[in-house]
């Protein structure tokens, strides 16, 4: 039995209300569980870059960065930092065994040619139709589009990582994005600090709740249409 919640107006919660939200590292761990053996994966700036630290044992994935690195490893320790080995976010990274380094033109040819199996992106807003806004907030200085517009068009599967609500307690999972769009109808799943949701049929389908977070809390923080089945699980990281 499924219930569909349609809420044109967000039920606001006080920013001071205590919810057991996931850390950035826990979000990255849960994303890493979506990786499959043999995948070519692009990790966006922010939380997505942390996924490289949590690739499950027993599988091999090749992590790609738009600036021309295929085969990123975990973040370096203080002893093995190479200032010239950076990702698209200008963070120092390591190269895994078998890594390849090439120019950004070849990197984007890989993306545009549909050779990336999974992309993990951050976002300012996502809506119930799978649209994503991630590159611009009017009157604020942000890093801009970067390679996101190519990734949302070329990747086979896209997962978005984000906080469920902004610092004012207002939902970032909407009926319709308010900010300028990066891509249309392209997001498959969203992993927030509160939940894992799948986007399909014009709604957010709740699959998992973060430990300590209730369904009612997720309802209150979700402005878009929310579908809740009787098989919602508590999120685990193993």
Provide the annotated active-site residues. Answer: 66
Compute CA distances 228 → 172, 206, 222, whole Å.
18, 5, 12
Whole-number Å distance between alpha carbons of 238 and 236: 6
Q: Residues 6 or more apart from 193 whose CB is under 8 A from it?
A: 21, 22, 23, 27, 163, 164, 210
Looking at beta carbons, which pairs linking 132-138 to residues 24 or more positions away fall under 8 Å? 132/158, 132/160, 132/177, 132/181, 132/182, 132/183, 132/186, 132/187, 133/177, 133/178, 133/179, 133/180, 133/181, 133/182, 134/182, 135/180, 135/182, 136/179, 136/180, 137/179, 138/179
């Amino acid at each position: 039995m499924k219930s569909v919640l349609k809420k044109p107006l967000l039920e606001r919660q006080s920013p001071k209300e205590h919810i057991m939200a996931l850390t950035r590292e826990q979000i990255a761990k849960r994303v890493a569980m979506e990786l499959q053996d043999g995948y070519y994966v692009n990790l966006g700036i922010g939380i997505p870059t942390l996924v490289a630290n949590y690739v499950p044992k027993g599988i091999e994935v090749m992590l790609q960065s738009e600036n021309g690195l295929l085969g990123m490893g975990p973040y370096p320790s203080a002893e093995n930092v190479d200032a010239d080995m950076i990702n698209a976010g200008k963070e120092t990274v390591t190269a895994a065994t078998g890594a390849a380094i090439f120019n950004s033109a070849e990197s984007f040819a890989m993306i545009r040619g549909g050779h990336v199996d999974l992309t993990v992106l951050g976002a300012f807003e996502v809506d119930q139709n799978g649209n994503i806004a991630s590159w611009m907030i009017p009157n604020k200085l942000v890093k801009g589009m970067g390679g996101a517009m190519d990734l949302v068009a070329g990747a086979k599967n896209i997962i978005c990582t984000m906080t469920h609500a902004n610092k004012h307690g207002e939902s970032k999972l909407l009926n319709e994005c308010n900010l300028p769009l990066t891509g249309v109808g392209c997001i498959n799943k969203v992993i927030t600090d509160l939940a894992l949701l799948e986007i399909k049929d014009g709604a957010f389908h709740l699959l998992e709740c973060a430990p300590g977070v209730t369904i009612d809390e997720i309802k209150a923080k979700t402005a878009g249409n929310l579908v809740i089945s009787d098989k919602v699980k508590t999120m685990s990281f193993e």
